[in-house]
Structures are given as C-alpha cells and as structure tokens.
Amino acid sequence: MSEIDTTARVARRTVLKGAAWSVPVVAAAVATPLAAASTNPPCPTCYTSGIVQVLGLPIIGAWTSQAVVLGNTAAILLAPAFGLDTSACSNTGFLSAYTYTFTSAALTMSAGNGVPVKTYTQTLTNLVGAGTLGLVDVLTAIPAFTGVSMPNGGGLGYTPAPTHLQICMDVFLTIDLGAGAPGSSVTCSLCFDWDLHGVGTGIVTLGAGTVNFTGTATPA
C-alpha cells in the first residue's frame, strides 16, 4: 500500500467519524427549544366573570346607565360593576400580576320578554387594565355602545333595555420560574359574559328624551 493510499484512507475514516458525532449534536440543538416550549403552563381555566360593588350603589353587581336620546339613538355606558374573578386560581405556574387589553364587546338590548331586539358590537384596541390572580378585580373601564336604537315611548318600564354584556380581551401572564423569578409572557384570549336584569325609566318623544336604566348583573 502506498503512502498516498494510507493517507486517503485515514482521512476518509476521520471525516466519517466526525460526521457520525455531528448528527446527535444537531439533533440535541433542535430538540432543546421544543422541550422548553412544552413546559409552558397552559392558560388558566379559573378566570370567570365577576361582579363588584360600585361606590354609591347599594349592592354587589348593581349598575346604572343614563341614555340621552337624539334622533332615536343613544350611547349606553354601564357603570363598572363588572370584574374578573380569579379567586379560584392557585398554582397556575404564573406570577400573580397580569395585564389585559380589551379586544371586543357586545351589548344585547331586549324588549323585556327575553327576546333579543339587537346586539351591538364594538372592536376595541385602546382599553387596558391590570389585575392580580386570586382576587376579584374591577374592570378598569366598560366601553360605551353608540348608536343604540331608542324608539319613541316610555314611562316606567321603558324598553328595549340592556339584558346581556360580553367582553373579550387578551390577558397577558408571566411564567413563574420559581421564587418569583419572571419568565416569558403568555397571551390568553378570553371572553366574559354577564346577564343584566334592569328596568328603564324615561320618555322619548319625537326622537329625543332621557332614559335612566338601573339593575343588577349576574355572571352568565
């Protein structure tokens, strides 16, 4: 065997051995991020619709709204008696503090016999808030629903009246790495619903007037 042949054979063995060792290294490098991602805790299922007591109102979940009607339409803004209830949350794998951004809201107005008249929806982008897991936190804001149809008529028991509210949001949670050390952020898209029980008082004549709504809310 010549010196050239021996050198070529050794070089070939060296290349093959290097290739055999390089494959597991690449595989391990690919598998590591997947393993890390699989350890992220899932979005908590303990978030529920909550109610709170507003200063000046008599009971928990009480709400009010005054509709100033022009051209048979009005804006409906419900007093913030609504909250996020995370009192059942424990050992979620997340830090207790969280933030949220509203994404959409829907208000159903009914004639009073349970039959929906119309549902008004809004896309939201600039309403934000924060809360703490384990508590019932009041929503920082409730969107105003504009262009709500208000027909002529009235007195005690004016209809249509608000009967259902839904608010959807993106909730941002931070993974707890242990001892309160923050990890990466997880976004959970959640929707919350409330049934509204109330009555309207007021008169709308020739498309104009004022109607005051009062009632209570219960988580749906």
DSSP 107-135: EEEE-SSS-EEEEEEEE-SS-EEEEETTS
The string of pLDDT tens digits covering residues 144-192 is 899 999 999 988 889 999 999 999 999 999 999 988 889 999 999 999 9
User: Which pTM value belongs to this model?
Assistant: 0.79
Percent of the chain whose predicted confidence (pLDDT) is above 70: 79
Angle CA 171–44–92, to nearest 5: 110
| Pairwise CA distance, residues 50 & 190, whole Å | 14
| Pairwise CA distance, residues 18 & 9, whole Å | 14
What per-residue confidence (pLDDT) applies to 53? 78
What per-residue confidence (pLDDT) applies to 6? 41
| Four-CA torsion 27, 32, 33, 36, nearest 10 degrees | 150
**Residue 10: is its pLDDT beyond 80?**
no
What per-residue confidence (pLDDT) applies to 13? 36
pLDDT band at residue 58, thresholds of 50, 70 and 90?
A: low
DSSP secondary structure letter of residue 171: E
Per DSSP, what are the bridge partners of residue 132? 97
What per-residue confidence (pLDDT) applies to 55? 66
What per-residue confidence (pLDDT) applies to 111? 84
Angle CA 191–192–198, to nearest 5: 145
| Pairwise CA distance, residues 132 & 127, whole Å | 18
**Residue 17: is its pLDDT beyond 90?**
no
**Residue 18: is its pLDDT beyond 50?**
no
| Four-CA torsion 50, 127, 56, 77, nearest 10 degrees | -100
Residue 177: how many other CB atoms lie within 10 Å: 12
**Tokens representing residue 18 in the block:** 């290097």
What per-residue confidence (pLDDT) applies to 7? 40
Q: If we measure between CA atoms, which residue out of 144, 136, 135, 140 comes closest to residue 100?
A: 140
Instruction: Give the residue extent of every domain in the chain.
Output: 1-39, 48-219
What per-residue confidence (pLDDT) applies to 59? 80
- Rg of the chain's alpha carbons, rounded to an integer? 29
